Structure formats: structure tokens, C-alpha cells
Amino acid sequence: MLRPSLRKANQMRPVSMETGVNKWAEGSCLIKMGGTHVLCTASVDFSQPTWKRIQNKTGGWVTAEYSMLPRANGTRKSHESMTKDNRAVEISRLIGRALRSVVDMEKLGRHTITIDCDVIQGDGGTRCASITGGFVALALAVRWLLAQGRINENPISDNVAAVSAGLWNNELVLDLDYEEDCVAELDSNFVMSGDGRFIEVQATGEQHPFSADQLTQLMQMASDGCKKLIDLQNQILD
């Protein structure tokens, strides 16, 4: 059965990544996954976060902040309500964890890189788009540090990308848009490294429990999807 977007079950939405979209940030990427558009910027601070300095720890840090613009979706939300959004806090932590998994903090030196992911338009899969575009922004910021002679080695060991998958209309599908996500029986997000390993898996049976076989099939679909995203990342960064 064709999906609302007329895609096949294992077909992702059109994806594009544009770099250099913010002249002030050390790294920036505008990622578009169908109707989901996220501006990802990487800002370099020449110092460790306070908690590392207090604990006298060595190495740098990578963190992330996620937010949606007031009219990123069908109903406007005030800026004030955004700052109190627990969902945004949870997604920010997910993005940070995902990106830190491939960064050697010692090689990063005493620098902090903050990845800001601002959803301009949301149409499902915003956290996955943020991770995928956020990695590109991070990689560009690291290149900047290397070019400036602030660090001697590339601290990034591999790519990171993410994609959603789920059970919609009793069919396993890849890269859910908002219309599908709203009624999905099973919703999941997969974060993967360039070598095909999983960094984080989030899966929820929205209407009823799901089987191990279904999860395995979704993992394979997501793996194929992440490989395509990582190939695109490498093309953009080449």
C-alpha cells in the first residue's frame, strides 16, 4: 500500500544538506528531510564547560540544544513555552549523546562545541534530522579548529546519522512523516555510526506491544537508511 506521500515502505523522503548557511558559526548545515527543515550550527568555545573545570578533568566537550521555532508546525508556540519544553530537553540530550559517541574528548583539547538544532519546519523525524545535520556542522567546526592550529588531530572517529521507522497501517515503513507518525502503531528512532553499529535505539509500541521480529526488520530498514544518509554526509564533507 502506498503511503500518504506515495513512497514505498522502505523509501526515504528526499534529503539535502547545505553547508555554510551561517557565516558566524564555525560549522553550519541546513538539512531538509522532506518537509522537515532543521538549521544546525556548531559554535566553538575556547574553554571547557564549568563542571569539567571544577572537577579538574581533562579534554573537551560536545553538547547540543534543540528547539522548534514558534511556527515550525501547525500551531504556534510562544518562545517562553519553548524554554520550558521537556521534550526539547530530552531531544537535546539525545543529540549530545549521539555526537559524543564518536568524539575523542582528549583530542578535542580544552574546547567546547555546542550544536544548536533549530527546527524551522517540522514534518516528522526532527530529532533524526538534527542528529544527521548536527554531525555535519560538528565535522566542519572540527575542521576549523584544525585549520586554526587549535588542535593537532581530528577527534572524530566516525560518522553519525539517524532515521525513524515504524509500523503504520499495519506495515513497517522507513522515515515517517508527521501524518504517519501521528497514527503509527509503533514508533522508533535509530542512531547509527558509519561502520554500521547502533549508537541508540528508541522504540515504543504506541497502541500495542511489538515483536522481536518486527524490531529486527525495522533495524535492517533503518540501517539501510542511515547508510544512505552517511553517504550523503561524506559527499557534502568531501
218 neighbors 158 (Cβ within 8 angstroms) = no
- Which ranges of the chain have pLDDT less than 70? 80-84
120 falls within a domain:
yes
72's grid cell: 515550525
4 falls within a domain:
no
212 falls within a domain:
yes
Q: What is the pLDDT of residue 171?
A: 95
Q: What is the pLDDT of residue 83?
A: 60
25 falls within a domain:
yes
- The domain of 169 spans 15-237
Q: What is the pLDDT of residue 212?
A: 96
- pTM for this model (two decimals): 0.95
Q: What is the pLDDT of residues 22-81, one digit of tens each?
A: 999 999 999 999 999 999 999 999 999 989 989 989 999 999 999 999 888 888 987 756
Q: Output the domain CATH number for residue 44.
A: 3.30.230.70
Strands 61-68, 112-121: pairing is parallel
Q: Total domain count for the chain?
A: 1
89 falls within a domain:
yes
